[in-house]
Structures are given as C-alpha cells and as structure tokens.
Amino acid sequence: MKLPGLDKLGSVGFVGERKAVSLLCLGFYVTLFFMIGLSARTELPEWVPVFVGMFLVYVTAFMGVAAEWFWGRWFATGLGYWGCTMAVMAFVTTRSFPTPMVVFGVMHALTALCLQGEKMAAVFDAKPDWRVRWKLDEQGVLRVRRSVTRAASSLPALIMFALAPREGQGLSIAFDPASVALLSVGALALFGFLASQRTWALMAFAGIGALTVVRAMTPFTLYSGFDTTGWPDAGLMVHGAGAFAGAMLVAASLPFLAPMARFLRHGR
C-alpha cells in the first residue's frame, strides 16, 4: 500500500527534519489519547479501553520512528493511512467537515508523507542487518513492507470496533467478546510477524480480517454516554472502522499468497 509519486518527495532530503515532523504529529496523539484516557476515567469510563488502546498504538509508532527500527516508518505510515481514511469517512457520514477530523486527517497525511522516499528508507528498512537475518531480497522486503503497513493501518480501526461499548443483551453497557478476541489475536499476529515473519501470522491476518468484515455487518447499538448531536452516525463510523480493519488485514496477507502457493507446488 503506497501512494504514487511519494519517492520523489523523499529525494529532496531533509531526512532529520521530516522525521521530526512525523514524531511531532505522533507525539501529539500519544499525549492526546493519554490525557483523554485520564479524563475519561470519571466522565466516560466505558470508553477508557478505546483510548488506552489508541495510546499504546501511537506509542508503538512513536518508538518505532524515534528508535529507527526497520519497521518503524512502515508502521507509522500505516497509521497515517488510517487517519486519512477516518477523515474521509467522517465527511461521508456527516456531510460536513468537522474541524477535529480535518486536523486529524491533515496530521496523519503529514506523518505518512514525511516518512516517504529512498533517503528516509536508508535510515530504517534499507539497513542490511535485518534483511540478512530474515534472508530477504528486494522483492521480499517489498512484500514485508506492504503487509506491515496494511496491518498497522488496521490496528486502530480494529481497536475502535472491538472496544467501543455496546448497549443491549440485557446489559446497560457490554463489549462484544468475539470482537475483543479478534483484536487480541490480530495484535498477537502483528507482533509475531514483526518478530520473526511467521507464516501463521499471515494466515491469522486473512482469517481475522474476513471474520472482522462479517462481524462489522452485525447490527448493534453503540453506547455513547455523551451528546452525539454533531455525530448522528457515530455507530456507522464504528461499523465502517470494523470493515476497514478487516479489509486491511486481508490485504496484509495478499503479498505472500503467491510465494506460499509456489512453495506448496514446488517445495521451494
């Protein structure tokens, strides 16, 4: 998953400056979700798991970029794509441009744009150590990049879908155990893939993605606990996040389907 023409942006240099801008954007949302999570303990306790989950995702992206881990820019770029998608979805559901979502979309687009290009790649994924350890050629690196970026873009959406509180089933507030299980296995699969590129993680991406799309089609009443006059389709946003997460997880497994099929046919 890559926007066309972005390598040209990277060729202009300013690697340190662009990395700093990305860290500034990521750090803003690390702080924002942390502060909202603290405030929600008394005002909206049922939403605390969502904010904590988002905080952990953005901390991971921040650390990945700051420490220059080989997958750091891919992970942060995935978050950038997720933010742009949610901003577009907010416009589609509300038929307006809510200022917070405009800022959200612009900052995430800036994060993704600033991390593009060959000169930026030299700081992260072009390092030879991890390529030698994983025994990857250029095509293998490209497949890993696509899978990590797509899986990372799905993670915040999956958190929103799985941990958003529901109403019904005789309970005033209830979480969907099936969706929480999907989130748990999805996060574990992404960790396993980043740690050792295990085949089971790719299979998990495909299975969890398909199940999440099906789950997103199941109707439920979203518990808000606050005035949603400006967001009449908040429930639709959550359903859309679930569908997006599922689609991205399935897409994360696609780059490796052909090599896996060749291995099964020819044993190599």
Amino acid at 84: C
What is the separation of C-alpha 65 from the centre of its chain, rounded to a whole number of angstroms?
A: 15
Tell me the three state secondary structure of residue 254. helix
198-216 residue pLDDT tens: 677 888 888 999 998 988 8
DSSP string, 22-56: HHHHHHHHHHHHHHHHHHHHHH-GGGHHHHHHHHH
The pLDDT of residue 44 is: 79
What pLDDT score does 203 carry?
Answer: 86
Which regions of the chain are under pLDDT 70?
A: 1-12, 168-175, 197-198, 220-235, 258, 260-268
Domain ranges of the chain: 9-266
Q: Could you give the CA distance from residue 93 to residue 91 in angstroms, rounded to a whole number? A: 6
Query: The pTM is what?
Result: 0.85
For residue 230, the model assigns a pLDDT of: 43
